Amino acid sequence: MAIRQIRTIGDEILLHNTKPVKAITPRISMLIGDMLDTMYEAKGVGLAAPQVGILKQIVVIDVTEEGNNPLVLINPEIIELSGEQTGQEACLSVPGKAGIVTRANYAKVKAYNEHMEEIIVEGEELLARALQHEIDHLSGILYVSKVEDGIFDVNITEEEEKNEE
Ligand code: NI
Protein backbone atom coordinates (compact mmCIF):
# COMPACT_ATOMS: atom_id res chain seq x y z
CA MET A 1 0.00 0.00 0.00
CA ALA A 2 1.11 3.51 -0.65
CA ILE A 3 0.11 7.09 -0.17
CA ARG A 4 -0.78 8.73 -3.47
CA GLN A 5 -0.53 12.39 -4.32
CA ILE A 6 -3.85 14.20 -3.92
CA ARG A 7 -4.64 16.43 -6.88
CA THR A 8 -5.81 19.90 -5.91
CA ILE A 9 -8.18 22.42 -7.42
CA GLY A 10 -6.78 23.86 -10.62
CA ASP A 11 -5.73 20.38 -11.75
CA GLU A 12 -7.91 19.73 -14.76
CA ILE A 13 -8.24 16.01 -14.04
CA LEU A 14 -10.66 16.87 -11.22
CA LEU A 15 -13.13 18.22 -13.81
CA HIS A 16 -13.22 15.11 -15.99
CA ASN A 17 -15.82 12.40 -16.21
CA THR A 18 -14.91 8.87 -15.10
CA LYS A 19 -15.32 5.36 -16.52
CA PRO A 20 -16.97 2.43 -14.77
CA VAL A 21 -14.80 -0.37 -13.40
CA LYS A 22 -15.37 -3.63 -15.30
CA ALA A 23 -13.47 -6.06 -13.09
CA ILE A 24 -11.34 -6.11 -9.96
CA THR A 25 -7.85 -6.55 -11.35
CA PRO A 26 -4.74 -6.55 -9.12
CA ARG A 27 -4.19 -2.98 -10.28
CA ILE A 28 -7.67 -1.92 -9.13
CA SER A 29 -7.21 -3.72 -5.78
CA MET A 30 -3.96 -1.86 -5.25
CA LEU A 31 -5.61 1.44 -6.17
CA ILE A 32 -8.40 0.85 -3.62
CA GLY A 33 -5.84 0.06 -0.89
CA ASP A 34 -3.83 3.14 -1.77
CA MET A 35 -6.96 5.31 -1.77
CA LEU A 36 -7.82 4.13 1.75
CA ASP A 37 -4.26 4.77 2.96
CA THR A 38 -4.28 8.19 1.32
CA MET A 39 -7.66 9.15 2.80
CA TYR A 40 -6.67 8.10 6.33
CA GLU A 41 -3.25 9.75 6.09
CA ALA A 42 -4.92 13.02 5.02
CA LYS A 43 -7.56 12.66 7.76
CA GLY A 44 -10.36 12.88 5.23
CA VAL A 45 -13.78 11.21 5.41
CA GLY A 46 -13.83 10.37 1.73
CA LEU A 47 -11.78 10.20 -1.43
CA ALA A 48 -12.68 9.64 -5.07
CA ALA A 49 -10.34 8.13 -7.67
CA PRO A 50 -10.01 11.35 -9.76
CA GLN A 51 -8.46 12.97 -6.68
CA VAL A 52 -5.50 10.64 -7.10
CA GLY A 53 -5.51 11.15 -10.85
CA ILE A 54 -7.44 8.03 -11.90
CA LEU A 55 -10.58 8.52 -14.01
CA LYS A 56 -12.46 5.50 -12.72
CA GLN A 57 -15.67 5.21 -10.71
CA ILE A 58 -14.23 4.35 -7.31
CA VAL A 59 -14.96 6.07 -4.01
CA VAL A 60 -13.82 5.34 -0.47
CA ILE A 61 -15.58 6.79 2.57
CA ASP A 62 -15.15 6.48 6.33
CA VAL A 63 -17.18 8.82 8.50
CA THR A 64 -16.41 7.05 11.80
CA GLU A 65 -14.36 8.84 14.47
CA GLU A 66 -12.13 5.80 14.86
CA GLY A 67 -11.55 5.49 11.14
CA ASN A 68 -12.11 1.75 11.22
CA ASN A 69 -15.16 1.23 9.04
CA PRO A 70 -14.25 1.95 5.42
CA LEU A 71 -16.80 1.83 2.66
CA VAL A 72 -15.53 0.99 -0.81
CA LEU A 73 -17.97 1.94 -3.55
CA ILE A 74 -17.38 0.92 -7.14
CA ASN A 75 -19.57 2.32 -9.92
CA PRO A 76 -21.82 3.98 -7.31
CA GLU A 77 -25.18 5.31 -8.35
CA ILE A 78 -27.54 7.42 -6.25
CA ILE A 79 -30.95 5.79 -6.34
CA GLU A 80 -32.77 7.89 -3.75
CA LEU A 81 -32.37 11.28 -2.11
CA SER A 82 -34.65 12.98 0.37
CA GLY A 83 -34.77 15.76 2.90
CA GLU A 84 -32.32 18.59 3.13
CA GLN A 85 -29.30 19.59 5.20
CA THR A 86 -27.26 22.78 5.04
CA GLY A 87 -23.79 22.71 6.49
CA GLN A 88 -20.06 23.09 6.15
CA GLU A 89 -18.28 21.00 3.59
CA ALA A 90 -14.64 20.61 2.68
CA CYS A 91 -12.55 18.55 0.28
CA LEU A 92 -9.01 17.17 0.36
CA SER A 93 -8.58 18.68 -3.12
CA VAL A 94 -9.36 22.16 -1.79
CA PRO A 95 -6.99 22.26 1.21
CA GLY A 96 -7.55 24.72 4.04
CA LYS A 97 -10.95 25.80 2.76
CA ALA A 98 -14.61 25.09 3.43
CA GLY A 99 -18.00 26.29 2.30
CA ILE A 100 -21.67 25.97 3.07
CA VAL A 101 -23.51 23.49 0.86
CA THR A 102 -27.11 22.31 0.91
CA ARG A 103 -27.51 18.60 0.17
CA ALA A 104 -30.12 15.91 0.64
CA ASN A 105 -30.19 14.68 4.24
CA TYR A 106 -30.72 11.07 3.17
CA ALA A 107 -29.06 9.21 0.35
CA LYS A 108 -29.42 5.65 -0.89
CA VAL A 109 -26.70 4.36 -3.20
CA LYS A 110 -26.31 1.22 -5.26
CA ALA A 111 -22.72 0.19 -5.85
CA TYR A 112 -20.32 -2.75 -5.95
CA ASN A 113 -17.87 -3.54 -3.19
CA GLU A 114 -14.20 -4.51 -3.62
CA HIS A 115 -15.30 -8.05 -4.50
CA MET A 116 -17.67 -6.75 -7.18
CA GLU A 117 -20.70 -7.78 -5.13
CA GLU A 118 -23.69 -5.49 -5.41
CA ILE A 119 -24.36 -3.49 -2.25
CA ILE A 120 -26.86 -0.89 -1.12
CA VAL A 121 -25.62 1.85 1.20
CA GLU A 122 -27.98 4.20 2.99
CA GLY A 123 -26.98 7.16 5.06
CA GLU A 124 -28.16 10.32 6.72
CA GLU A 125 -26.42 13.56 7.65
CA LEU A 126 -22.61 13.27 7.36
CA LEU A 127 -22.69 9.94 5.52
CA ALA A 128 -25.35 11.23 3.10
CA ARG A 129 -23.26 14.35 2.52
CA ALA A 130 -20.09 12.30 1.93
CA LEU A 131 -21.89 9.99 -0.52
CA GLN A 132 -23.19 12.93 -2.56
CA HIS A 133 -19.85 14.80 -2.43
CA GLU A 134 -17.74 11.81 -3.48
CA ILE A 135 -20.13 10.68 -6.21
CA ASP A 136 -20.08 14.25 -7.59
CA HIS A 137 -16.29 13.86 -7.98
CA LEU A 138 -16.93 11.01 -10.44
CA SER A 139 -18.67 13.49 -12.74
CA GLY A 140 -15.98 16.13 -12.34
CA ILE A 141 -18.04 18.20 -9.91
CA LEU A 142 -16.39 19.91 -6.95
CA TYR A 143 -18.36 21.22 -3.96
CA VAL A 144 -17.05 24.73 -4.66
CA SER A 145 -19.54 24.94 -7.55
CA LYS A 146 -22.37 24.36 -5.04
CA VAL A 147 -21.41 26.66 -2.17
CA GLU A 148 -23.84 29.31 -1.08
CA ASP A 149 -21.56 32.17 -0.02
CA GLY A 150 -18.18 31.31 -1.45
CA ILE A 151 -15.39 29.37 0.19
CA PHE A 152 -13.54 30.48 3.30
CA ASP A 153 -10.36 29.62 5.17
CA VAL A 154 -10.63 27.06 7.95
CA ASN A 155 -8.48 26.45 10.98
CA ILE A 156 -5.57 24.28 9.90
CA THR A 157 -4.11 23.71 13.36
CA GLU A 158 -4.04 19.97 12.86
CA GLU A 159 -2.00 20.26 9.68
CA GLU A 160 0.34 22.75 11.33
CA GLU A 161 0.88 20.35 14.21
CA LYS A 162 1.63 17.55 11.80
CA ASN A 163 4.15 19.69 9.96
CA GLU A 164 5.92 20.46 13.21
CA GLU A 165 6.45 16.81 14.05
NI1 NI B 1 -13.81 16.06 -2.29
Q: How far is the CA of 50 from the centre of ligand 1 (A)?
A: 10
Among 114, 134, 159, 164, the active-site one is: 134
- Would 5 be classed as within a structural domain? no
Residue 24: Cβ-neighbour burial (10 angstroms; 0-12, 13-18, 19+): middle
- Would 128 be classed as within a structural domain? yes
Quote the pLDDT of residue 165: 40
- Would 75 be classed as within a structural domain? yes
- Would 6 be classed as within a structural domain? no
Quote the pLDDT of residue 158: 52
Quote the pLDDT of residue 163: 46
- Would 4 be classed as within a structural domain? no
How many independent structural domains does the chain possess? 1
123: CATH: 3.90.45.10
Q: How far is the CA of 42 from the centre of ligand 1 (A)?
A: 12
**Average pLDDT per 10 consecutive residues for the chain, totaling 165 residues:** 95 98 97 97 97 98 94 98 97 97 98 97 98 98 95 73 46
Rg (CA), the chain: 15
The parent domain of residue 111 ranges over: 12-164
Quote the pLDDT of residue 164: 46
Q: How far is the CA of 27 from the centre of ligand 1 (A)?
A: 23
Report whether 93 contacts 8 (CB < 8 A): yes
Quote the pLDDT of residue 155: 75
Q: How far is the CA of 136 from the centre of ligand 1 (A)?
A: 8
Q: How many helices (H) and strands (E) does the chain have?
A: 3, 8
Report pTM: 0.93
Residue 86: Cβ-neighbour burial (10 angstroms; 0-12, 13-18, 19+): exposed
Q: Active-site residue 134, yes or no?
A: yes
- Would 3 be classed as within a structural domain? no
